[in-house]
Structure 1
Amino acid sequence: MHKTERTDNPMWYTEAKMTRGTSKGRVRKRSVTAVFRSAALLIVLLCLAATTLACQSAPNGVILGPPEPLLHLYLPPVTSFIPRVYPPVTIRTNSCSLGSGPRVRWRTDGRCGPNFPLASRIPSECDPNSDRPCCSDYGYCGNSPSHCGCPDCIDFRNVIREPGCSFSLEGETGYMESPNYPNQYPTGRDCCYDITRPSRNYCGVQLTVENLDVGHGEEEGFCRRDWVTLPSCVPERGTRICGNTTGQNYQYLFQPGASAIRFVFHAGEASEGRKGFRIRYQLLTKCLGPYQTQLIPVTTIPGTTSAPCYTRITDTRGTVNTPYHPKKYPDNLDCVYEFIRSSQDVCGVRMQSVTFEMEPALMTIFGGACTDFLHLPSCGFVCGKVNFSWVVAYQPSATSLKFHFHSDEATGHTGFLINFEQVTQC
């Protein structure tokens, strides 16, 4: 048995009955309240003593500082947080962007960086004038220390944009040269060369390679590292020039209404110690036909009342197709699909095949040759059964661009259905 009771005396008494023996004992203990009161009184006395010893009076009445403390307490040192200041990030300006529309460099979903590129396939940024100006190392825009203060973060309020690499070439003949030619060209940039068109009497330009030392040459059928190209052609990679060759000749056409034709030199990030290129250009007043010209023939669609196989496209998006798709297209057709540029803000047309099936290429001693094909004049031919997604760029001040579809007298196929969209970022 164990019983506890309270009496009139403000103390607790405990009566314990022993289970063994006959003796009884009463144990008197201090109450918990009394213990707390005693402890509080002791603390007050210590504080008074410490205060008395803390200040001493000098003979002249000047208050001296406190003596050595009687009690040493350990407190961890407090270090103020000072964010590390990183140097400004230098971003190379893409001076070869076509069109004069606004250059929006950030996405609408808040992601950023090289793993979340724009539609033009360049790394996206964060809006420096917004409340989320920094890109974290995980590819999110924000304004916290983890977005703005890490070594791999980019604060786009603190960005230096490197001047562009752009050349305007005038005259009926002249030269395109890589930066620093004949010395090694710099890495990691795109340089654009605009060859001016003096009048509409000039239909194209001829290039003659006098010296070329760019990249490693073709890998898997096209140039992968450094190259000279024509972005107004598709497939664009088919116009890339690279390697170490001289004496090659190329001809390219001005688009309708174009004031210049633009070539781009792409130098990758890796230095290979190459000297670059020197290419002579000459403007042409006569261009080869019938397909290497902007005056492409147009035939009548069989089964119609003399309807020409010509489509004038002013919509910003939609589809184009061969006559009677998905049925087989007729023989001996020449069709033109002309995309009208609504404004200079539009830089190109993005195209993606839904279906594409034509006569396969005929292999000859000179390589593959297409009998039925789709092409841009002077930009190569596409045939067979393929899937593609590309952006064909307008040349400076061009008013339109033309695609040409041709079929011969052999058996037709289902042809193509292609989605398109006119874009302001290329």
Structure 2
Amino acid sequence: SSHNYMLLVFRTDVSGGGRGFKANYTSTPMSCGGIFRSETGTIKSPPEPQPYSKCKWIISAPAGKVIELGWSSVSIPNSVFCTRSNLQIFENNTDTSLAHKLGETYCGARIPPTMTSTSNILMIVLTTPSYATYDPKFSAYYRIRSADEGCSGNFLSMNGAIQSPNYPEEYPIGLNCVWTITVPTGKQISLHFKDFFLEGRAPCRADYLEIRNGGHASSPLIGKYCGATISDDITSFGNQLYIRFYSDAAIGSKGFSLTWDGTLSGCGGDLSGYSGSIISPNYPYPYGRDGMCIWRITVSQGSLVALSIVDIDLEAHSNCLMDYLEIRDGITPRSPLLGRYCASDHPVTISSTSNSMHLLFRSDISREGRGFHLKFSTVCNRTIRGYRGVIESPEFPSAFTQPVDCTWTIEAPLGNAFSVAFSHLMTVPDKMLALFCSGVNSRGWQMCKGFQQCDSTYLQINEGTPSNGKMLGKYCGGTQSLPTIKSTFNEIHVHMKVTGLRSEALFRLEWFVVGCGGILKGKSYGDLSTPDYPELVSRPVVCEWTIIVDSGSSIKISVTDLAIDKPNDCDQNSIQFVGGPDSTSPLLSKICQTSINNQLELQTSGNRAFVRLQVKQANKHFKFKASYNQVYSSCGGLFNGQEGSFHSKNYPQNYDSFDDCTYLITIAETHRINLTFVDFDVDFSFGSNCSFSYIKVFEGEMEFSNDNSSIRTLCGSAIPQPIISSTNKLTIRF
């Protein structure tokens, strides 16, 4: 036999018989391997070296039973990817080509995790090459138990099922069951619930099923579930899930039945909510080689994301080119880069400028670290500037029930105001009414008046500064009618407060600036004017317009009407025209004279312009009107080929003053761009601070007035090192 069991079958038919047979058997020592059928046992590697062998130990349990396998010690010669001596575990079949592999291929001294089979057959395979320098050794122990006995397990199979004890009958009281599921690195686990019914309801303080992203009780929580249903399948962010089933000392219910599928490729996921955690696969143990994970964090609109690095240990490299964590300010892989990290030298907290972040984790085929642990939270106390936007309560569209105190301050240029409209508004305080009673009516009933107490949970909107402001509205107590609010100041404050165990709030509002100014994008022509033109301005006001046309074009601005009361007092009343996205760009013209008789025309060299009109003194003699058109640009451009070249205007002669040129390179999505400078002489006479003339290189398309996305700022006469993009787009602004 090949193992320590042999089965002989003797069969006769209905015809005549013969003398029969007699056989003798002897036993000989096995070199290795064996079949084990007892309820418990110990398995050890052979004491003598067995070069070029493949030893198999098979644990065979009765139908309906499963096998728990643990390890006392492992010492196997190490090799890259364990391709020489190694230890593997299979289930369901004794043929490795048909069996399901559990866990990894093991070598070295790392002890495999405790395993629970999903079938009644488990097989350990030890492979030793002929050139092994020393004998591989291991010691393992096992236990055969009923599939529904107990309530725990450590599963390493790609597919399987878990049920509550006694399912579909009522589960016992006083349970505390824990299951972990681990699949190979680079895979994700999907849980599908076939049946679910537990005692209790949210917030699940009685019986509950707790599911965490990772293999430990401290791993980030996905959710705590109870009641009658779990609506959707649950997918892990990495290759592990931790499942805990708890029942109190009261009554039980039917329980649950779930299956899992660990064949999904990838890791990462989409995260939302007020706060949460992210860990690398298998954290705090090595995360695996040649992997890539993407997480997208989104909080409610109007708020920001704060990301804290609790722990990080990746393969070290000076430029983080091997294993790294890349964090971007936005939801897409082309959003502005906030940082790339691989070592302990990192900021404690990284903040976004929008309500989302994009995280990319990559590992190569060489060394591994223990990975990383991150925490994110919502930043709802902030100042917002712009011309329109949306603000939502944390975790919208769900009602927010945690204690919170948020204030969003919205600012517009001087002389403007706001319009605010609600699409959702609901607050439920823990103190519903204050009652004031006096006298009785004709029926003998006491007469009382009820007043809502808005001191615990409410939404309040004020305008102006704390010293000269006023309240525009305060809302509390159930579902509200949806108000529309008009301010008279250029500053409003949205204050949301939730406190108390039974309080909650939910709202969504849209706001926009009423007055002048704005971002004019996507149109090849348009108009600018003072408020209520052709009427004269009669109050202090500031209007700011940002004009953006297609890359490779420029903007021609024609001033058709202008009157200023106090000529040449440029500190009080003026109009500035800037060739770029904001006031830091080159100044084209500043006008503060009484009037113009002929039409004034200006043209930018790039595809962006910024116009700022200010009236600081109230008067009745100021008006302004202009139009703009998109025209051909003398510099900048769009480049779509796989290779090409471009240069500054007039090259190799000197470039012009006040140039603002934008070059956009776009190639195939699966490629990156190598940008190489052949000749370079920019602003050498002014030193190296790049405060006058410069080149900025941006990942992707340059966003409006956002220098955070720039990956290099260049000036001087030394030829810069080549720049390699991480996406298929680069923007170069000169």
- For the superposition of Structure 1 and Structure 2, which TM-score range results when normalised by the shorter chain? 0.3 to 0.5
TM-score (norm 2): 0.25
In proportion to residue count, which structure has more strand?
A: 2
For the pair shown, the structure with the greater C-alpha radius of gyration is: 1
